[in-house]
Each structure stands twice: as C-alpha cells, then as structure tokens.
C-alpha cells in the first residue's frame, strides 16, 4: 500500500515538474526573444534558468525519494 502511494506521488510530481518546466521555458523564451528592452530580455533568461534549475532539483529529490522507498 505504501509503495502505491509513493508511486502516485512520483507520477504526479513528475507531471507537475513537466508542466512547470514547459511554462517556465515558454515564458523565458518569450521574454528573452521578444522583450522590449535588455532588462526584460535578461528577465526572460533568468526565468528560463531558474525554472530549469528548480525542475532539476525537484527531479533529483523525487529520484532520491524513489531510491529510498525501493531500498536501493
């Protein structure tokens, strides 16, 4: 029963990470390419990089959670 809950958390977590990465990537590219001034373009790059780092960090956390739960 506990493995099913952990698997559900992992699946929902990965889906949420995918959605957040897509939203952050789209916003970052949009502001980066179509920003009116250099400050807006730099905000776009920052949004893209921060969303990438946050998603990688959370994916690492999910991987560690999965490894601990599976007994590796």
pLDDT at 60: 84
pTM strictly above 0.85: no
Structure letter (DSSP) for residue 71: T
Range 11-35 average pLDDT: 81
pLDDT at 72: 56
Burial of residue 71 (CB within 10 Å: 0-12, 13-18, 19+) is exposed
């Amino acid at each position: 029963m506990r493995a099913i809950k952990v698997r559900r958390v992992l699946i929902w977590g990965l889906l949420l990470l995918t959605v957040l990465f897509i939203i952050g990537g789209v916003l970052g590219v949009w502001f980066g390419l179509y920003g009116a001034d250099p400050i807006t373009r730099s905000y776009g790059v920052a949004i893209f990089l921060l969303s990438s780092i946050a998603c990688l960090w959370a994916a690492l956390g999910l991987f560690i959670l999965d490894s601990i739960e599976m007994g590796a």
